[in-house]
Amino acid sequence: MQQRSFSIFLGIIIRSFFQFLAFGLILFEFSPSLWAQKHGNVWYFGKNAGIDFSSGSPQVLFDGVIDNFEGVASISDYNGNLLFYTDGMTIYNRTHQPMVNGTGLNGHPSSTQSGVIVPLPNNDTRYIVFTVDYAYSDGDLYYSVVDMTQAGGMGAVVTKNIFLQSNSTEKISAVRHLNHIDVWVVIHERESNEFKSYLVTSSGVSSTVKSSFAGQIINNGVQGCLKFSTDGRYLGMATYHERRVEVFNFNPGTGDVSFHSVYSFPDATYGVEFSGDSHFLYASVSYDLKQIYQINLQLKTRTLIASTGMAPGCLQMGPDGKIYVARYNRPDVVSRYLGVINNPNEEGTACNYVDESLYLGATRGSLMGLPTFIQSYFVPAITLNGTNSCLEDTVHFSANLFGNLQQNHDWVLWNFGDPLSTDNTSDILSPQHRFSAPGNYTVTFKISSAGSELEASVEVEIYPMPQTTLPDTLKLCEGGDATLFAGESGFNYLWNNGLTSPAINVSIPGKYWVRKTSEFGCLASDTANVVTIPGPEIDLPGSYTICPDSLLIVSAGNDQFEYLWNDMLTSSTRTITDPGTYFVKKTDTFGCHSEHRFSVDYFYVPDLFIGADTMLCSPEGIDLSASGFATYRWQDGTNVSVYHVDNPGIYSLVALTADQCSATDSVEVFMCCEFSMKIPNVFTPNYDGVNDTFKPVLHDAGRYKMTIANRWGAILFETNDPEEGWDGYFLNERCPAGVYFVVFDIERCTREGRFTFVKTYGSVTLLY
């Protein structure tokens, strides 16, 4: 039985005021405002494109005004409602109007990640907007401050373009500090292997910057994304023109960056994104190859998982746990679709990338960029595993607990949503359950730790078992057949004789079993016992051998029976002329029948070939010969294998094998004709005795004429004598060196011994 496994990423329902998340070996307790996973619910990007994840799956938005080729950022409130978004130069409020004092930021539309928005820790109204310039600038890094209490709750920029440093690449990423309150913002410098980690606390951007030197020096790799894993353990970086992706370890307590691994690619690298479980890093390779790779961080290997129809750009995880892929064609061809990696935690192509997955609208679309977020927004607390299964199977469930939930919980409780069963609940982490009836079930998982409860659910479908309809016993005449019918179409069938149709014809006694499998892999089996009644005897051999073109008369019995041959004849006797396999069905008055199969083959008859049509050119004549037969008879009655020919004519032979099968062949002998003509292409009338005249070399020619003309068509020489050549003179004067045209009118012989006129054109070069 085949089962379709899936791992469903689930949002977390907050059941009490305080929730917790563990990082490493330390358990932290914090308020709902610090567990605000909906800040990344609303995205605006590309050419007026937008999506909203508030319903659990992305819904396309049509109100965005942003039109930006690459980096963008957006932020929503605790409940997932849009606050504002930016292209790095203008901040737009939730009504899609420029925010008060929100223009003139120092980002750039062609910066890979033009900025990121960081909520000020322990403050629900202030946000810091970091911006980075593009490759062909000084690489300035700035930040501005938004106060959402201003402008009637629409927000205003109260501090703008505070300079932090120059020499930044187009890369920026952010993640929660180990204390789950503060935020690290990390950039990489140009012509260096230095990372800068800026810490944002409740006091703002710290003046103390953490520097780390790791990996290779960036020269031409200014473009390309920098991205944290959601758990903050890893940092991935694409270096566009340098065609590599580097992975680093990150310490969220200190901001230190250290080298992990590096991977080379056959084309420019642009987007990077980690799977939710941090086992894999995905990288987009553009532009010419249009590929997406999966990097296994444990094995340190890379695997091509997709070739895309348009160039893949930025990769960004969504609140649903899937990774979304920007698509475009340079210089500015918009894609109406986002690609989606549906199962990022699965290895290889099982990650299920769909190239044209999310339609953005007829007038809106993706370019290179997707929003940059604090990656901690996308940390799942729980993922559940279950299987869609058949009714008679036991379903196994498990809960993947992230952080320190695995070791630090008080109790768990599963509810399988199956009240008709006797074991509808379980208090172990990985239970199993056999459902009472087919249908769709919502299986709920609860976990309690430190007085708080988390709840998640997974949908499973239980498929019905297929039904079979075979009889216990089936009687049929020996040599006859009957139909065993196992059910309707729409299922997969496998019989013990290897057939895969819903019904089979049977003619041999014995037990027949069938396995019937539904489209969901559910399996049922059934068996029928077939017994036979003997049919009438057919007294015929198993094979015949005949000469080609002869007749074979076969009789299967007398006329008191009914007969049916394979070619639908109904007589007891039939005539056969062709080799092959034949069978006859003989039915008695009770309806029982017998079948007999026999073969008809030809005796072997060698090919008879006494030669191709030929010419008689020798006065001694020629011999025609044959071999491989028992006897020979020529057209004049001569019984020899070698026949001598002195005269032209048609000669034929009939040859017999030892089985008295015959073969014939004939040949025509013509009078000899060996016409040939060779025409020189240059001659030199310098009286040295070599090549002083121009004429052809002829054999077996009749009447003859050679005409020579100059380039203007004037005839310079004519002759009917094959032995007379042109000496290069006309009217007793030497003709100038050059190319002259020649026409031959020649009577030549044919292979039939007759003559015909042919005209041949050519040219000759006169040299001195």
155 & 233 share domain:
yes
Q: Of 602, 623, 646, which closes a domain?
A: 602
Handedness of CA 471, 475, 479, 480 (dihedral sign): negative
Is 17 contained in some domain? no
Rounded to 5, what percent of the chain is helix, strand, coil?
5, 50, 45
205 & 314 share domain:
yes
**In sequence order, which ranges of 459-510 are alpha helices (DSSP H)?**
none
Q: What is the pLDDT of residue 588?
A: 84
pLDDT tens-digit readout, 414-435: 999 999 999 999 999 999 999 9
Q: Of 434, 463, 492, which closes a domain?
A: 463
DSSP 8-state symbol, 198: E
Q: Which domain, by its residues, includes 505? A: 473-532
518 & 622 share domain:
no
d(CA 649, CA 194): 100
Confidence band, pLDDT 50/70/90 cuts, at residue 407: low
Q: What is the pLDDT of residue 508?
A: 87
Residues 13, 382 contacting (CB under 8 angstroms): no
Q: What is the pLDDT of residue 751?
A: 64
Report the residue count for the chain. Answer: 768
pLDDT tens-digit readout, 281-313: 999 999 889 999 999 999 999 999 999 999 999
167 & 217 share domain:
yes
666 & 681 share domain:
no
pLDDT tens-digit readout, 526-547: 999 998 888 888 899 999 999 9
Residues 284, 270 contacting (CB under 8 angstroms): yes
d(CA 561, CA 553): 18
Query: Measuring CA to CA, which residue among 182, 91, 69 is closest to residue 143?
Result: 91
pLDDT tens-digit readout, 437-493: 999 999 999 988 766 677 788 889 999 999 888 999 988 877 678 899 999 988 999
d(CA 29, CA 405): 12
**Which has the higher per-residue pLDDT, 1 or 720?**
720
Confidence band, pLDDT 50/70/90 cuts, at residue 315: very high
Q: What is the pLDDT of residue 344?
A: 96
Residue written as tokens 């032995």? 723
Report helix, strand or coil for 152. Answer: helix
Report helix, strand or coil for 750. Answer: coil
Query: Distances in Å between the alpha carbon of 85 and those of 57, 60, 319?
Result: 20, 16, 17
Residues 175, 255 contacting (CB under 8 angstroms): no
Q: In what order do the strands lie in the sheet with 738-749?
A: 682-683, 755-766, 738-749, 701-709, 715-719
Nearby residues of 105 by Cβ (< 8 Å), 6 or more positions away: 86, 88, 89, 90, 91, 115, 129, 131, 142, 144, 160, 161
189 & 337 share domain:
yes
What is the bridge-based pairing of β-strands 523-533 and 510-517? Answer: antiparallel
Torsion of CA 56, 61, 64, 69, to 10 degrees: 80
Is 24 contained in some domain? no
pLDDT tens-digit readout, 324-355: 999 999 887 999 999 999 999 999 999 999 99
User: With 70 as the cut, is the pLDDT of residue 648 above it?
Assistant: yes
pLDDT tens-digit readout, 501-517: 999 999 888 999 999 99
**Which has the higher per-residue pLDDT, 755 or 491?**
491
302 & 179 share domain:
yes
Q: What is the pLDDT of residue 406?
A: 62
- Residue 250, φ and ψ in degrees, nearest 5: -130, 135
User: With 80 as the cut, is the pLDDT of residue 666 above it?
Assistant: yes
- CATH number for position 41: 2.130.10.10
d(CA 743, CA 739): 14
Q: Of 671, 693, 709, which closes a domain?
A: 671
546 beta partners: 602
d(CA 319, CA 52): 10
User: With 60 as the cut, is the pLDDT of residue 16 above it?
Assistant: no
Residues 213, 247 contacting (CB under 8 angstroms): no
- % of the chain residues with pLDDT over 90: 73
Report the 10 Å Cβ neighbour count for 83. Answer: 22
632 & 578 share domain:
no
d(CA 635, CA 267): 80
What is the bridge-based pairing of β-strands 562-565 and 503-506? Answer: unpaired
Handedness of CA 252, 257, 259, 263 (dihedral sign): positive
- % of the chain residues with pLDDT over 70: 93
Q: What is the mean pLDDT of residues 231-235?
A: 92
214 token code pair: 């790791």
Q: What is the pLDDT of residue 380?
A: 65
Is 316 contained in some domain? yes
Report yes or no on whether pTM surpasses 0.75: no
667 & 683 share domain:
no
Q: What is the pLDDT of residue 724?
A: 94
Is 589 contained in some domain? yes
634 & 520 share domain:
no
181 token code pair: 């309150």
Nearby residues of 101 by Cβ (< 8 Å), 6 or more positions away: 156, 157, 158, 160
343 & 421 share domain:
no
User: With 90 as the cut, is the pLDDT of residue 674 above it?
Assistant: no
Q: What is the mean pLDDT of residues 181-190?
A: 96
User: With 90 as the cut, is the pLDDT of residue 178 above it?
Assistant: no
d(CA 358, CA 327): 11
Average pLDDT value for the chain: 89
Is 65 contained in some domain? yes
249 token code pair: 């370890």
**Long-range pairs for 492-495: beta carbons < 8 A, 24 or more residues apart:** 492/516, 492/517, 492/518, 492/519, 493/517
Q: Is the bond into 331 cis (omega within 30 degrees of 0)? A: yes
Residues 663, 608 contacting (CB under 8 angstroms): yes
pLDDT tens-digit readout, 76-94: 997 899 999 999 999 999 9
Q: How many domains does the chain have?
A: 6
324 & 339 share domain:
yes
Is 468 contained in some domain? no
d(CA 543, CA 572): 18
pLDDT tens-digit readout, 566-624: 989 999 999 999 999 999 998 888 788 888 999 999 999 999 999 888 888 777 889 99
Q: What is the pLDDT of residue 15?
A: 29
Q: What is the pLDDT of residue 25?
A: 26
Is 30 contained in some domain? no
Is 25 contained in some domain? no
Q: What is the mean pLDDT of residues 632-651?
A: 93
